[in-house]
């Protein structure tokens, strides 16, 4: 969700997977990379970049947590 709105992001699963493989060091570097990758396939209004970045980072953490739980099972 971006600013409380549910939005669709093209290629989100692939973007999250690429970001996980690249795994930039540090939270801000990861946030920047997620936004950069999303902007390749999607229009992101400049005034909404921070909201997109926050939403993408939250989704990335949720996916990474799910992957960690799956690996333990």
Report residue 1 as tokens.
């969700």
User: What is the domain extent for residue 43?
Assistant: 27-72
Whole-number pLDDT of residue 7: 83
In a domain, 41, yes or no: yes
In this structure, is residue 40 part of a structural domain? yes
Number of domains in the chain: 1
Q: Phi and psi of 32, rounded to 5°?
A: -60, -40
For residue 57, what pLDDT is reported? 96
Rounded to whole angstroms, the Cα distance separating 38 from 65 reads: 21
Is 33 a domain residue?
yes
pLDDT digits (tens, 9 = 90+) for 17-64: 999 998 889 999 999 999 999 999 999 999 999 999 999 999 999 998
Do residues 22 and 33 touch, judged by C-beta distance below 8 A?
A: yes
């Amino acid at each position: 969700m971006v600013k409380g709105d549910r939005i669709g992001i093209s290629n989100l699963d692939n973007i999250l997977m690429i970001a996980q493989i690249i795994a930039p060091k540090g939270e801000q570097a990861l946030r920047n990379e997620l936004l950069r990758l999303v902007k390749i396939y999607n229009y992101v209004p400049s005034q909404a970049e921070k909201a997109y970045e926050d939403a993408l980072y939250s989704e990335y953490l949720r996916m990474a947590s799910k992957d960690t739980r799956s690996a333990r099972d």
